[in-house]
Chain A
Amino acid sequence: MKKSLFLATLGVVALLSGTATAGTLDEVKARGKLNCGVSSGTAGFSTPDAKGVWQGFDVAFCRAVAAAVLGDPMKVEFVPTTGQTRFTALASGEIDVLSRATTWTFSRDTDLKLTFAGTNFYDGQAFLVKKELGVSSAKDLNGATVCIQSGTTTELNLAEYFRINKMSYEPVPVDSSAEGERQYQAGACDVYTSDGSNLASVRASFKNPPDHVILPEIISKEPLGPIVRQGDEQWADIVHWTLSALFAAEELGVTKANADQLADGSDNPEINRLLGKEGDLGKMLGLDADWARRAIAAGGNYGEIFATNLGDQTPIRLERGLNALWTKGGLMYAQPFR
């Protein structure tokens, strides 16, 4: 009798725990805010400003998604993650989208069960050294001590690069970009290696940036982009098309300033479709017709987001390079809105 009671209770428990989970979109709407995983402080990408408001390139993307989904770019809860905690945070549902300079790789896409919503930054791994070392090429780094963020693809690229070039090195694993900067500045390592954009941001935060050089070798391809959990196609679509809308807005000349005005109607049917004047693209996505206009109005189109956070006017001073539109020699390309 006891056994049957046990089995019956087990069955009830199994039924209770097996209730279907709601889609991420519904969860976010019910919660009233978007949980967005970012890196814990990288100038230009994600860092809180003096008032404690998060600013940066990765942050701006989350604000665009929040604006599209919830109608308010400020309804975002930013969750700082490290290289080691980011995927667990996403898999466990702690965050809805990971916008944290994460490289799109085969095994992450397939084995880690992540869905990459697109690439919003084409990057490559580089080396930052002090000028006084007199090193002009990464090939001169034999025997150097290298600071590296633990749990990243850069860690694997570094090992491969030194192996291929038959050089030795001494890795000093660090937990975050901030710790890496501290160790590098203290001289505990000769070299700090990371994505080129990150190094530019790190160098810009130094007291005397010209004392440090980024070596010319780019030793890897690092396509960075926002990530969502695998298995929720609707949510993945929303994140992907929000990103695409930002690219399309730059292509079509829709800016933060003129988005509202163009939303009233224009001669270009694609702009009308994008901003919800024509067709019902928003409804297909599970959002309202106005979603893309709000996403663009949040921080501007892709070009504007790049310029305000990383461009010439900022201390980071990154060139567009591969991140320019395809029409201008870059790789950025929006899928057609139709």
Chain B
Amino acid sequence: MANALTFPTREPHQAFRLSMLLNDSRYRSYTIQIFVLMCLMLGIAWLADNTVRNLALLGKDFSFSFLWSTAGYDINQRLIAYDTQMTHGRAALVGLLNTVVLAVLSCVLATIIGVIAGVLRLSGNPIVARLMTVYVELFRNIPLLLWILVFGAIMSEAVPAPNAFKGENATASMIFGAVAITNRGVFIPEPLFARDLGTLNLGIVEPSLNALVILLVVIGCVLVNRALMRRASQVQSQTGIRPATWWKSAIILAAPPLLLLWAFGFYLGYPELRGFNFQGGLQLRNSLIAMWLGLSIYTGAFIAENVRAGILAISRGQTEAAHALGLRPGKTMRLVILPQALRVIVPPLISQYLNITKNTSLGLAVGYMDLRSTLGGITINQTGRELEGMLLIMLIYLSLSLIISGSMNVYNARVGLKER
């Protein structure tokens, strides 16, 4: 009660009046917020009501049952078993997997291109630096769709047809007898196993057991190798001398997978020309290549700028200090600059990965059968379920993007500055 004499801790009680909702600054903000919220809800309600009424006017109902009816159309690139007698839902899944594959391939390639171009743009060599500037400005400033179409046109117009590989005086030949670049796509050897363990039936997808076992073994090897590295770092911090680990790493990483491949009877299936086209091998279709190159090189230009910004954000003193310690430029970049630059690079990189994932929906332009072309294109067209199909597609892209940004945020938290 001592300070109650000088500071009144409680305002005098005042009866609540309706006018206080507008005049009293304590309540006004709530009034405004509730008003805006109501407007928003009204807007949504109006949209929903309008949709329901118009659907009723057209005599259409709102139902997802079309996902279980027979699709009837073919999809050229499929990672899981699919034929025309399967359902629209299955076709959508095939499309979704195609979207994911394209997104992953493009993210990887775009990152590689972006990091190299970003670092080279800061190179001391003026020719290299200027070339990278030209690359970045050229690709960044022309719409992505045009690049995709350009790559699509190059793949279908500028490379030989399969029958150019045929006959006595063939005008085209396979690279090393293994890779055929044709206007139907690029054919590369496919990995095959003489001793096949069959497939694991998970109901919807049936992954090959061989591939699963190899994947598990590789993951195991990487984990063991990391333990080895941790041990080496421990020894280094205790004694100052880092034990030689390279031959141990090489054995741990290479030997078990190679042994496993030998045990499975691994061999390569080469593509060969039969009838109209190459058979066997793995076919990377024109549409995939056009999309992959278009997305990667276009987005790589943006990533290059992020990388450059990240590197420039690290003060020059860091480089000088590293040089003073006797680190070579390559090691300076790898051990000192890049780890710090990653903190600046990763957040915008997440946006670029999201952009790539969403931009895969341009696949329709070159006939790439992604989610947009299957569920959002042919299925909607054959069943007339525009609203349901589009809502479903939006939901899937949203979930896909949230998963990517979620996992990238985890990575960002790991490379980020640990403030304690």
Query: Could you say which of B262-270, B275-283, B317-325, B331-339 contacts chain A?
Result: B275-283
Residues facing A in B62-111 (CB within 8 A) are 72-76, 83-84
**A220 interface residue (CB < 8 Å to B):** no
Contact A13 B72 (CB under 8 A): no
Residues facing A in B377-419 (CB within 8 A) are 377-378, 380-384, 386
**B57 interface residue (CB < 8 Å to A):** yes
Contact B384 A14 (CB under 8 A): no
**A142 interface residue (CB < 8 Å to B):** yes
Of B46, B60, B276, B286, most A-chain CB atoms within 10 Å: B276
Residues of B within 8 A of A187 (CB): 156, 161, 183
Residues of A within 8 A of B377 (CB): 84, 150-151
**A88 interface residue (CB < 8 Å to B):** yes
Of A108, A159, A170, which one neighbours B73 at CB under 8 angstroms? A159
Residues of B within 8 A of A189 (CB): 184
Contact A21 B277 (CB under 8 A): no
Report the separation of the CA atoms of residues A2 and B365 in the bound assembly, to the nearest whole angstrom: 50
Residues of B within 8 A of A175 (CB): 364-365, 367
Contact A143 B53 (CB under 8 A): no
**A56 interface residue (CB < 8 Å to B):** no
Number of inter-chain CB pairs below 8 Å: 120
Residues of B within 8 A of A158 (CB): 74
Residues of B within 8 A of A155 (CB): 73-74, 378
Please tell me the number of chain A residues within 8 Å of chain B, measured between CB atoms: 49
Residues of B within 8 A of A231 (CB): 57-59
**B150 interface residue (CB < 8 Å to A):** no
Grouping DSSP codes into helix (H, G, I), strand (E, B) and loop, the A interface class, with mixed when no group exceeds half, is mixed
Report the separation of the CA atoms of residues A86 and B286 in the bound assembly, to the nearest whole angstrom: 27
A136-163 CB contact bits vs B (8 Å, 1 = yes)? 0000011111000011000110111001
Contact A17 B275 (CB under 8 A): no
Please tell me the number of chain B residues within 8 Å of chain A, measured between CB atoms: 45
Residue in B closest to A108 when the chains form the complex, CB atoms: B384
Residue in A closest to B161 when the chains form the complex, CB atoms: A187
Contact B45 A13 (CB under 8 A): yes
**B137 interface residue (CB < 8 Å to A):** no
Residues of B within 8 A of A6 (CB): 38, 41-42
Report the separation of the CA atoms of residues A145 and B161 in the bound assembly, to the nearest whole angstrom: 11
Report the separation of the CA atoms of residues A142 and B386 in the bound assembly, to the nearest whole angstrom: 35
Residues of B within 8 A of A111 (CB): 383-384
**B274 interface residue (CB < 8 Å to A):** yes
A-B contact pairs, 18 of them (CB 8 A): A6-B41, A10-B49, A14-B49, A17-B49, A84-B380, A87-B381, A91-B386, A113-B60, A143-B274, A143-B279, A150-B373, A150-B377, A151-B382, A170-B76, A175-B365, A183-B156, A188-B184, A189-B184
Q: Given A6-B41, A84-B381, A183-B156, list of 7 further CB < 8 A pairs?
A: A142-B275, A145-B184, A155-B378, A159-B72, A171-B74, A173-B369, A190-B276
